[in-house]
């Protein structure tokens, strides 16, 4: 089945540094999503990307939908301690009405920010 | 309530027992999703309900897993004859529309431990 490879698995950075993580897929997705998960909580959507080549920002977060539709990256600028958490990429094929709920998730990137 | 509510928050069960996990979606949300998250992993799709349409059960890992939803309200995920590999956090999400997985809100999850 479809798989998403997310890297890096973990990052340890100093407050104020920029962060970059990415996901690659063996198959095409029509939508890419980036989520953040805090301990004991469900994932929260950060950014959604719908078109190949699309570059979208949300505050200090920027994400891009790769031209090949097989990859996406997420950048966080000027990191702060509350950025700590697990970041997941997810893709959807939107192949039909019953496929909308079926997201394929990456393994996650654990981000630690040292003050 | 304002968000997706799941119960119990934690469940420890003996191998071979049946368990029922409950999800109360956000009122008015027609779509409901169940995902499983193993320790240190991303989320795995289990099942998706959309209104009165037949659910997409393609992610259920075995016939020991089943789920029901009454109308557009509560859903229960049942695992029969639990095995140790069923230990995971089971996350429920709901969204307003079929295309609305980007607007999907996750509950806090039920942490299931099979001993």
**Contact: A101, B50; criterion CB under 8 Å:** yes
**Contact: A4, B91; criterion CB under 8 Å:** no
pLDDT at B1 over 60: no
B105 chain-A contacts, CB cut-off 8 A: 42
Of B40 and A79, the structure prediction assigns the larger pLDDT to A79
Please report the pLDDT score of residue A98 as a whole number.
46
Largest CA distance in chain A: 46
**Contact: B40, A97; criterion CB under 8 Å:** no
Please report the pLDDT score of residue B104 as a whole number.
81
Q: Residue B80: which pLDDT band, with cuts at 50, 70 and 90?
A: very high
Please report the pLDDT score of residue B70 as a whole number.
85
Please report the pLDDT score of residue A13 as a whole number.
95
* Nearest chain B residue to A34, by CA: B102
A105 chain-B contacts, CB cut-off 8 A: 35, 42-44
Q: Under a CB-based contact definition with an 8 Å cutoff, are residues A66 and A54 in contact? A: no
Which of B102, B105, B111 best probes binding to A when mutated, by most A CB atoms within 10 angstroms?
B102
- Residue B52: Cβ within 10 Å count: 9
What share of chain B has pLDDT > 70, as a percent?
Answer: 94
Please report the pLDDT score of residue A2 as a whole number.
59
Note the Cα A68 to chain centre separation in Å: 17
Please report the pLDDT score of residue B98 as a whole number.
59
Look at residues B75, B65, B63 and name the one whose alpha carbon lies nearest to residue B19. B65
Of B5 and B101, the structure prediction assigns the larger pLDDT to B5
- Contacts A–B by Cβ distance under 8 A: 75
Give me chain B's average pLDDT, please.
91
At CB < 8 Å, which residues of chain A contact B?
Answer: 4, 6, 31, 33, 40-45, 48, 88, 90, 92, 97-108
Worst-scoring range by mean pLDDT, A24-28, A51-55, A93-97, B109-113? Answer: A93-97
**Contact: A42, B4; criterion CB under 8 Å:** yes
Give me chain A's average pLDDT, please.
90
Tokens 């008015």 -> residue: B28
pLDDT at A59 over 80: yes
Strands A85-92 and A109-114 come out as antiparallel
Please report the pLDDT score of residue A101 as a whole number.
65
Please report the pLDDT score of residue B89 as a whole number.
96
d(CA A23, CA A69): 11
């Amino acid at each position: 089945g479809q798989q998403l490879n997310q890297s890096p698995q973990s990052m340890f950075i100093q407050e104020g540094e920029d962060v970059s993580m990415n996901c690659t897929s063996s198959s095409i997705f029509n939508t890419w999503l980036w989520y953040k998960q805090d301990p004991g909580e469900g994932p929260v959507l950060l950014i959604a990307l719908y078109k190949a080549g699309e570059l979208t920002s949300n505050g200090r977060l920027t994400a891009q939908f790769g031209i090949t539709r097989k990859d996406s990256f997420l950048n966080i600028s000027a990191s702060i301690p509350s950025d700590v958490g697990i970041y997941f990429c997810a893709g959807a094929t939107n192949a039909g009405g019953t496929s909308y709920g079926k997201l394929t998730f990456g393994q996650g990137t654990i981000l630690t920010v040292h003050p | 309530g304002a968000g997706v509510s799941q119960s119990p928050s934690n469940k420890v069960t003996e191998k071979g027992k049946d368990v029922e996990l409950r999800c109360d979606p956000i009122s008015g949300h027609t779509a409901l999703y169940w995902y499983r998250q193993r320790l240190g992993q991303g989320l795995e799709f289990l099942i998706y309900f959309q209104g009165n349409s037949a659910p997409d059960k393609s992610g259920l890992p075995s016939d020991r897993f089943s789920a029901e939803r009454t109308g557009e309200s509560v859903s229960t995920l049942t695992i029969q004859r639990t095995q140790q590999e069923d230990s995971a956090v089971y996350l429920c999400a709901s969204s307003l529309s079929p295309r609305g997985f980007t607007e999907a809100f996750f509950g806090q999850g039920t942490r299931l431990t099979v001993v």
